Amino acid sequence: MENRDRLTIKDYAVWFSIIVLIYLFTLYIGNWGLLRSPTLSPQTAVINDIYRIVYVLAMAVFSIFAGTIAFFVIKFRGGDEDEI
């Protein structure tokens, strides 16, 4: 295994940062998992709480997946055509 294929502490920090940035971005564009009018009825408060939990957890899984894909596509992109 070449030295280029090994992950350093800096690589792990960048990887983690990408995941956190994607997570915060997806929460921001999703209004942090809040529905538009959570006070229409007593049931909407319960539905809003459940929806928020599901949304936050789903965005966590998505962020780990998308962040990992983005990091590895950038980190291990093809360099020399002789290595193929």
Residue 83 lies in a domain: no
Residue 79 lies in a domain: no
Residue 40 lies in a domain: yes
User: Could you read off the pLDDT tens digit of each residue along the chain, which spans 84 residues?
Assistant: 556 668 899 999 999 999 999 999 999 998 888 877 767 788 888 888 899 999 999 999 999 999 999 999 988 887 666 555
Residue 66 lies in a domain: yes
Total structural domains within the chain: 1
Residue 37 lies in a domain: yes
Q: Give pLDDT, residue 73.
A: 93
Residue 35 lies in a domain: yes
Q: Give pLDDT, residue 32.
A: 86
Closest CA to 33 of 9, 1, 7, 62: 62
Q: Give pLDDT, residue 83.
A: 53
Name 68's Cβ contacts closer than 8 Å, sequence gap at least 6. Answer: 15, 19
Residue 47 lies in a domain: yes
Residue numbers of the domain that contains 31: 3-74
